[in-house]
Structure formats: structure tokens, C-alpha cells
Structure 1
């Protein structure tokens, strides 16, 4: 006979239950440790105050000034501006070259974003095929381009395309065996100015896209790619049907960020204009707003309000997708 493992005379065990949150709160109150619902707001207070002072207040002032005829004489004489309604907005779109600047900025933004996304994806996929040593070399090169300040990079590229001593003119004269490019200015013509600007911005922006896409490619399962290759899928089919769906959220985020950044470019354009470009024919929204700010502040505020609305509309797509993903 084997010994029994149960004790029939013992009282049945009941499962232990955790105290409810209300009872824990009550016990906490009895011990003098009351919950602190204001603690998160206290931690966020410095950031909220900073955002209010640096963002909210200037935005409200800019919005109010956009409906007035505020000029520099009002600042000097201390007089209040007059309310003009939507006259500043009408003037911006009908009596100035703002529509041309807006079209130029939007076209440049599209070209830059497409090139940055395409080249960034190509570099990221190339890094997955390289050995460890070459991958480290490429990463260092990308980091050096990314870390260079925009103004320094603009000066360097300005020297490369310099009229008299530029490397590009020397190389073209050497390859053609002529002196046709001696003294040729790449910045005086608006189209060649935009070409130089595009090369400069793409060169500095590709590293961010490449590193982001390279991290995203690590999320694509190798087993799925190998199985599709065994089923006869081509490289383009694997990229379109497998890689892109896995990286859709990452690509969307990079596209939105690059779109916003490319709409806000200022330093590169302004520096190249100082090296020989014609400002009136190469202005983008940032430089146009800067140059208009020296005169009529009401008109400048109207341009600023329009830029804020435009950037918020561009950002809405990314915010909406992010909120949908959080709800899933």
C-alpha cells in the first residue's frame, strides 16, 4: 500500500487573491503615502512652459500680425498697427512673386525627397550585401557627410563649383580637352543653381535615410526572402511584395520627415546665393520669408502663417497613420 499524498481532514485551500487597487490606495492613504496624480504634470511642466514661450506665443503673435499692416515704422514710433483683414493674404498671392517661390519650393521638395528616398534605399540594400569591413567604411563615410554643418558643406561645394578655381570646371576642361568651361559660373543660371543645390542637399540627407532603411531591412525575415527566391520570385518581386510591405511604416515616416525638412531649407540656399546666385530667381520659402522680414511685418506674418498651415497639412498624414497604428 502506498501512502496517500492528500490530507482528507485538512481544510481545502482557497486561491490567494490580490488586494484591489482601491484597497491598496486606501492602505496607502492610511500609511501617509497618497497617490500623486500631479506628478506627471510636474515633470512635464518645464517642457510645456518652454513650448509655450518658444512656439505657442510666437505663433499666436504671428497669426494676429498677419491681419494687420504692421511695419517697421510702427516699431520705431511705438504706434499700433491697423486691422486690415485678409488684405495681406490677398497681396501675397496676387501682388508679389510668392506664387512663383511657392511653386519652386514645392518642385524642389518633390525632387529632393524622391532622390533621397531612392538613393537611401539603394545604399541601405548595398550595405546588407557588403562585408563587415566595407560596411564599416561606408558607414563612416556616411557619418562624415551627415555630421558636416550645412554652412560648411555649402562653402565646400561652392568651391567645387567655383567659377575660376572649381574642381568641376577643371575636370570638364580636362575631359573635353578644351577651355570651354574656364570661367563658367554654375550659380548665375537658376537651373544650374538648383542642380548644385540638389547635389548638396541630397549628399547630406542620404545618410539619414540610408541608416534608417538599413535598420528597417533587419526586420525583414530572411526565411521569407529565401522561400520566395526558391519559389522563383525575382529580386524586384521580392523587394516589391515582401520588403516594401514590411518597411511601409518606416518609409512613410522618412518620406514625411524629408518632405518637411526639404520645405524648410534655408542655410544652403542663402549661402549659395551669397556666392553668386541671383536671389530673386532662386529664392525658396525660407529665404523669401527672411528677405521679406526687413519690411512689412504684416505681409511677412501672412507668409509665415501659410507656411505653418502647409507644414501641418503635410504632417497630418504621418500623425494620422501613427494614431491608427496605436489603436490596433
Structure 2
């Protein structure tokens, strides 16, 4: 049976005869299907996140007060809001306070969460379930509820913390206020924020610990490696990417803490000395009626978050390439 010859056009306009057994090339089917499946999610993100961010960016270049909320036109003022923010010493004080508070929370949550994860990896099934239930209960508690409960515990007159400290130490803690002093205020805030962050860290690190080869740990233990050496030389290299992801997420979450600080200020804290970025934006825009300046502060905060997110994405891509 005579086979049909296939032809291919050249750039010169000629033709070339091909062997009859060469397969015909066809365009792969479904090449655009993954992109089409991403369209609904992208549209939702644009509607929920993208459009409000555009409005926030535009507002940061306008004189936007209470009159503009009720329909008055918003005059364009250029970079005046940003100049006002960057030239305000209070903004830099709030930014520095927020960064220090964030670092304290991240270090505390990562340390306690890692220790609890290591404990869960060593105890038997009963205690593992008990610890998991306790972590889930702490994680499921809303931030406002947790703040109110801890506020009661540190109450000036009826708080159980003052009662226990007085009973244990023998010193007088009657009517001792924990929220008036800025340092002790942030100690209480760190306890509350860490209380809600430790479960996520513990569960994530514990999930990674289950993937560490047991025979490698046993071999290192037979070679005389201690607990700290096994963690530093074996466990941590296996979980380095997990630690990076968790730390970056904790930094992002702790920089934008709002509920705990705002609720503690309502209980007894001094706003001028204890505000962080999230609360400061609220006080400037909603409380002070200057939405343009509040928008400028929010844009600066968004840029800071984007910088951290870009670092996280680049680090994740490098981990995948390795």
C-alpha cells in the first residue's frame, strides 16, 4: 500500500518531503484549562482585595475628612499626607514600638511553639491528644474574647494574677495596675498574642517533625549527640523551610495586630504610649476623622507587608529549586 507523503513549508517557500512514519504534530489540548480555572479566584481577589487597595491608594493622595464621607468632593493634595506622616515623630515612635512588639511576639511564639511540638513528638498518645485539645481550644478562642478573659485575670482589684503573686511572693500586689505602665501593658499584650499564636506554630512544627527520619536521629544518638545537637544539626536542617514560612507569617500577623491592643486600651491602657500601627491607623482615620492621613499610613504598612511577602515568595521559590 502506497503511503501518503507529508510536506513541510520552508521559509524560502519550498517544500520538503518527510518520511511517511513521522508523526503529525498536534497542539496540546487543555493547555489553557489551568488558567481558566484560576479566573474565578482572581476575580474574587480583585473585587475583595484589589479594588479596596486602589481606593486606599487614591485616598492617601486626597484631603479626605468627615465631609467627604458624606459626599463632598475630595481635593487632591499630592504627597502632602505622606510628608505629614513621615515628618511626625509620633509615627516613627509607633512604628518602632510595633516592630519591637512584633519581634517579642515572634520570638516568644516560635520558642514556645517549637518546645511544645518537640514535647508532642515524645509523649505517648494520651498526652498527645490532651495537648492537642488544649491547643485547639486556645486557637479557637476569638481574639477579643481572649483579651477580655486575660484582662479580667490582670484586673487591678479582682485579678487572679495579683492574688497569686501576693500569695507566692509575700509582697503587696493589692490594686497593682498592669496596664498603666507601657512596659507591663505590652507584657500582657504579648501573653495574649502568644496565647493565640502558639497553637499554629506547634501544629505546623509538629507536622514537620513527623517527616524527620527516625533512623537518622537514632544513629546520631548512638554516636553521642545530645538533644540540642540533634535538633541543631539534624532536625532544624530538615525543617528550615517550615521555620522560614512560619516566622514570616508570624511577622506579618504580629505587625498588624489590632484587636488585642485596642481592647486592652479600653480596659485601662494609655493610648498615646501603647498604640501600634493597626490601632494608630484607626485612631487617625476613624477616631480623628483624617482618612487621607490614615490612608497614607495604611499604604506605608501595606508596602512593608509586600516587602516581607516578596522575601517569603523568593525564599520559597529558592527552596523549591533546591
Match of 2:271 in 1: 279
* Range that drifts further, 225-234 or 154-163: 225-234
Counterpart pick for 2:54 among 60, 72, 91: 60
Structure 1 residue 233, shift from structure 2 partner: 1.9
Task: Return closer, same or farther for 1:214/1:19 CA change in 2, 3 Å cut-off.
Answer: farther
8 Å CA contact 1:161, 1:186 repeated in 2: yes
1:212 positional shift = 0.7
The runs of 5 or more residues in structure 2 that have no matched partner are: 1-20
1:122 and 2:115 aligned: yes
Seen in structure 2, the aligned counterparts of structure 1 residues 167 and 22 have a Cα distance that, compared at 3 Å, is same
Structure 1: gaps spanning 5 or more residues:
1-16, 26-34
Which aligned pairs between 1:249-288 and structure 2 lie closer than 5 A? 249-288=241-280
User: Displacement, 1:222?
Assistant: 1.2
Q: Determine if the alignment matches structure 1 residue 138 to structure 2 residue 142.
A: no
Aligned to 2:9: none
Is residue 2:157 matched to residue 1:164? yes
Judged with a 3 Å threshold, the aligned counterparts in structure 2 of structure 1 residues 297 and 96 are, in CA distance, closer, same or farther, namely farther
Aligned to 1:318: 312
Q: Equivalent residues in 2 for 1:241-252 (5 A)?
A: 241-252=233-244
User: Is 1:182 equivalent to 2:174 in the alignment?
Assistant: yes
- 1:308: which partner in 2? 302
Corresponding residue number in structure 2 for 1:98: 91
Shift of 1:20: 6.5
State the 1:63 CA deviation. Answer: 1.4
Distance between the aligned counterparts of 1:137 and 1:20, measured in 2?
A: 63
TM-score (ref. length: structure 1): 0.86
User: Are the aligned partners of 2:113 and 2:202 in contact in 1 as well (CA < 8 Å)?
Assistant: yes
CA contact (8 A) 2:165 2:173 kept: yes
- Give 3-state SS (helix, strand or coil) of 1:188's partner: coil
Matched, 1:110 2:103: yes
Q: CA deviation at 1:42?
A: 4.2
8 Å contact 1:74–1:81 — kept in the other structure? no
**Aligned residue for 1:70?**
64
In the TM superposition, what are the counterparts of 1:80-99 in structure 2 within 5 Å?
80-82=74-76, 84-95=77-88, 97-99=90-92
Higher radius of gyration, 1 or 2: 1
Are the counterparts in 2 of residues 163 and 185 from structure 1 also a CA contact under 8 Å?
yes
2:232 maps to 1:228? no
- Cα RMSD after superposing both structures: 2.0
Whether the aligned pair in 1 keeps the contact of 2:285 and 2:292 (CA below 8 Å) is no
Question: CA deviation digits over 1:6-28, x for unaligned, max 9?
Answer: xxxxxxxxxxx9976618x7xxx
Give the 3-state SS of the residue equivalent to 2:70 in structure 1. helix
The separation in 1 between residues aligned to 2:291 and 2:82, in whole angstroms, is 12
Distance 1:99 1:292 in 2: 14
1:48 shift after superposition: 1.9
Return the alpha-carbon distance in structure 2 between the equivalents of residues 279 and 18 of structure 1: 78
Q: 1:129 to 1:80 in 2, by over 3 A?
A: closer
Q: TM-score, normalised by structure 2?
A: 0.87
Q: What is the rounded CA distance, in whole Å, between the counterparts of 1:21 and 1:210 in structure 2?
A: 52
The corresponding residue for 1:196 is 188
Structure 2 counterpart of 1:11 = none
Matched residue, 2:26: 22
- Partner deviation per Cα, 1:93-151 (whole Å, 9 max, x = no partner): 22351111000000000111011111111111111111111111111111111111111
**What is the Cα deviation at residue 161 of structure 1?**
0.5
